[in-house]
Amino acid sequence: MTGRQRWGGRRVACGLAAALLGVQALTGCGAMGSSAGPDADDRSVQRLLDRWADAVRGRDEAAFLAAVDPRAAGYRAARQRVFAQLKDVPLAAYGYRLVRRGGFAPAPGDGHRVAVEAELRYRIAGYDTAPVTAPARLTLVKRDGRWYIAAQDDRNGGRQLWEQGTVAVVRGEHSLVLGVGQDRARLRALADLADRAVPAVGAAWRGKWAGRVVVEMPASLDTMAALLGSPASGYRGIAAVTTGEVGGAGAAPADRIIVNPEAYGVLGDFGRRVVLTHETAHVATRALTSPATPLWLSEGFADWAAYRDTDRTPRQAAPELARAVTGGELPRRLPEDAEFGFAGESGRLARAYEEGWLACRMIADEWGEEKLVAFYRAVGGHSRRAGAVEAALRDVLGVGVGDFTARWRAYLEAALG
């Protein structure tokens, strides 16, 4: 999750392929076939996917449509629109990897048809150091010994922004904003806020990271949910989501900050600034966030980075927790991951974020900001949750869990009581 937002589950692939005319082709680790290697049909299908991707990278519409079934008039027209809609997206790499044939029912129609599961992999020029990946479920048809792409199924995710409409591209100093169905002035304002967020996070994190962000603003809540492959009800009232894979080894994974135009639109200037800075903090810390990192720490750190250079007091920034503490409900322990879920009581969710933020704020106040960053890194350096926080508390801060919790409770009482 992200502070009052939610992390997406989009996976990020590893590895880059050789350069091709200044734009890299992303090919897979080999198409999946039998244990002896891919068969002739697998190789033919992979070559078709490679030609399709080559046409996108080369901006060759004729070659792109040549890979599409000439008898699939509706799908062909839809793909032609998509090709036009991504023309301004600065792609550094774009490719498909055949995963397997079969696995779902192909779309109905004439000819010899097979279902194909593939993986789309792409990078944005100047921003992604590793590719974004998404599933691609395609129906292929074989006519006169030649394979064509006849349909695709996006119901299980894999939908991209450029499939929702023409993508407008706005470049900032530290950001790239991609939008569909949005006024260009709104996208420029978003880029300006992202440009402020990047140095703010850099000053807080003080570690190596890309120092740039890609932000996407779709047309509506529904289209945002379609990008994430989840029901819209899960994102109602959520201003933004950061997608990416935690615990990257080597090159940092490619993150996207996806903005909900409806919830973001009702925020004031300060709220928008906090949201963009919080999400940018997740981008910065992603490679050093692992399964060992509890949500109170990842969300608390992101909120700490977002509020760090503001004049908001704890009572102003943590109103739900302040009400609880002044009412005699001082929390006994740090919040557990389940308390950051969106299915429960909204006040409890807000308190969970506020508790995590004030835990990180306490570390920065009492041990110093460098110790907070070191503590975050130390926790994320573990591969498992069990014992990770305890070890980092001991090794970095020199305290045990009981002592830390007691100091945190006293800090809350002093700041909010």
pLDDT in tens, 374-387: 999 999 999 999 99
pLDDT band at 236 (very low <50, low <70, confident <90, very high): confident
User: What are the Cα distances from residue 150, in Å, to 100, 147, 218, 244, 400?
Assistant: 17, 9, 27, 30, 61
pLDDT tens for residues 12-44? 222 222 222 233 333 333 333 433 345 888 899
Question: What letter does residue 130 receive in the DSSP assignment?
Answer: S
Please give the average per-residue pLDDT across 335-356, as a whole number.
85
pLDDT in the model for residue 341:
78
pLDDT in the model for residue 10:
28
Closest by alpha carbon to 214, among 188, 251, 177?
177
pLDDT in the model for residue 38:
54
- The residue that leads in pLDDT, 76 or 233, is 76
- Residue 400 CA to residue 397 CA, distance in Å, equals 9
The total number of residues written for the chain in this structure: 417
> What are the tokens at 192?
């300006």
pLDDT tens for residues 180-210? 999 999 999 999 999 999 999 999 998 889 9
Pairing status of strand 213-217 against strand 256-259? parallel
Average pLDDT value for the chain = 88
409, HSE (Cβ side, Cα atoms, 13 Å): 14
Q: In what order do the strands lie in the sheet with 175-179?
A: 168-171, 175-179, 213-217, 256-259, 240-243
pLDDT tens for residues 39-96? 888 899 999 999 999 999 999 999 999 999 999 999 999 999 999 999 999 999 999 9
pLDDT band at 222 (very low <50, low <70, confident <90, very high): very high
* Whether residue 343 has pLDDT greater than 80: no
pLDDT in the model for residue 25:
38
DSSP, collapsed to helix, strand or coil, labels residue 212 as: coil
Q: What backbone phi and psi angles, to 5 degrees, belong to 259?
A: -100, 135
pLDDT band at 223 (very low <50, low <70, confident <90, very high): very high
Percentage above 90 pLDDT, the chain: 75
pLDDT in the model for residue 344:
57
Query: Which residues are CB-contacts of 67 (< 8 A; sequence separation ≥ 6)?
Result: 48, 51, 52, 55, 148, 149
pLDDT in the model for residue 6:
35
In the chain the domains, ranked by start, together with CATH numbers, are 19-157 (3.10.450.50), 290-417 (no CATH)
User: What are the Cα distances from residue 354, in Å, to 99, 196, 242, 321?
Assistant: 43, 23, 19, 7
Closest by alpha carbon to 117, among 132, 104, 130?
104
Ramachandran class of 102: left when φ > 0, alpha when ψ lies in -120 to 50, beta otherwise: left
- Residue 299 CA to residue 57 CA, distance in Å, equals 37
Q: Note the helical H segments in 140-215.
A: 184-205
> What are the tokens at 406?
């007691």
- What residues does 216 pair with on adjacent strands? 178, 258
Tell me the whole-structure pTM to 2 decimals.
0.86
